[in-house]
C-alpha cells in the first residue's frame, strides 16, 4: 500500500467503530467463558489510571489494558478491508 492507502486503511468509518466496540466483548467471552466478565473487561479498557494498594497506601498506576484498543482497532480495519475487497 502507498501512503494514501494506509491513510484510507486507518481512517475510521461506521463498520470499523462498531467492530472495534464489539471485539472486546468477544475476546472477554472467549478468554473467561463468562458473560459477567464482559463489563469488567470494558472497565479495564476504559480506565487509564487504576488504584493500587501496596499494603500501606493507595497509589495510582497506569493501566496497560488501555493500550489494547490499538490492536482491536487494527483488527477492525483489517476486517473492514477484507469485507470491502470481497465485494
Spans of all domains in the chain: 3-86
pLDDT digits (tens, 9 = 90+) for 37-80: 999 999 999 999 999 999 999 999 999 999 999 999 999 999 99
Read off the pTM: 0.85
- Hey, what's the cell of 40? 469488567
The C-alpha atoms of residue 28 and residue 15 are separated, in whole angstroms, by: 20
Cα–Cα distance for residue pair 40/27, rounded to 1 Å: 12
SS3 of 51, please? strand
Amino acid at each position: 500500500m502507498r501512503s494514501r492507502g494506509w491513510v484510507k486503511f486507518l481512517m475510521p468509518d461506521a463498520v470499523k467503530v462498531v467492530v472495534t466496540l464489539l471485539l472486546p466483548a468477544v475476546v472477554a467471552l472467549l478468554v473467561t467463558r463468562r458473560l459477567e466478565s464482559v463489563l469488567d473487561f470494558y472497565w479495564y479498557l476504559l480506565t487509564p489510571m487504576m488504584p493500587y494498594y501496596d499494603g500501606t497506601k493507595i497509589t495510582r498506576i497506569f493501566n496497560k489494558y488501555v493500550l489494547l484498543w490499538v490492536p482491536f482497532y487494527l483488527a477492525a480495519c483489517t476486517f473492514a478491508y477484507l469485507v470491502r475487497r470481497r465485494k
